[in-house]
Homo-oligomer: A and B are copies of this chain.
Amino acid sequence: MKKSIGKVPGLAVILVGERRDSQTYVRNKIKACEEVGIKSIVTEFADGCTEDEVLNALSNYNQDSSINGILVQLPLPQHLDEGKILDAVSLEKDVDGFHPLNIGNLAMRGREPLFIPCTPKGCIELLIRSGVEIMGKNAVVIGRSNIVGLPTSLLLQRHHATVSIVHALTKNPEQITSEADIVIAAAGVANLVRGSWLKPGAVVLDVGTCPVDDPSCEYGYRLMGDVCYEEAMRLASVITPVPGGVGPMTVAMLLSNTLDSAKRAYGFT
């Protein structure tokens, strides 16, 4: 693309506050952009910044034709209106796919979202590349967040899985999960899913990431998944570790969405 039309895709990241996990994610995304030749800019705000500051930065990126993707790293501090801020991202640059119009188009049959949210897209990509059939399979999604659980359940349905969504108020999560061919854990509760939750041969994708203090690690903490890996690996036919499983796929899909957006913007095929 650079050779043909002299343009490279541009990604803008907005990071608010000092959550260690968010900082790690943003660092990984920027590094990945550098590796593949995507231009990236990070705008950082302190925890106590105002909504207007964030909205102004967004507005500038919306208008900047060298920026093809805009990513607001979530979660935002409580005092900011997440919905209002995400709605301000231009639909054409919403590479995270979190705009409600995009989620609506993801949910509805016969409609096409402009972008598929990165983590769900990464999960499906992992399944497909691992030769896991999705159509007709019983899939359980644990967790119903707007950024992972919900879009993952919608995307699995697009791939014709039979989907059940388990959450904190589910009475028998263990039983429901134990009937699944495909388990996608995105609850954010360390070691929630034990061996007894899994059917032998199940495919297990662990999207959970709980930061746990660990002085022996480079940044003073490490990420733990939702799945008790030691127990699950004895039962699962396919399983992803944390870290190193779904995370890198999420980053790869972000790059892919940003590239798609740039191609659309420049009419490059």
Contact = CB atoms under 8 A, between A and B. Distances in A.
This chain's copy number in the assembly? 2
Interface stretch (A28-36, A168-176, A218-226, A230-238): A168-176
Contact of A109 (B144, B157, B160): B144
A103 B150 CA distance: 13
Nearest to A137: B171
A159 to B, nearest CB: 10
Interface string A133-156: 001111000001110001000100
B169 A162 contact: yes
17 contacts: A83-B110, A83-B111, A100-B108, A103-B104, A103-B107, A104-B105, A107-B107, A108-B146, A109-B144, A109-B146, A135-B169, A136-B170, A137-B171, A162-B165, A162-B167, A162-B170, A163-B165
B150 A108 contact: yes
Contact of A162 (B101, B145, B160, B171): B171
A206 B91 CA distance: 38
Contacts of A13: none
A136 B169 contact: yes
A102 interface: yes
Nearest to A156: B165
Nearest to A101: B101
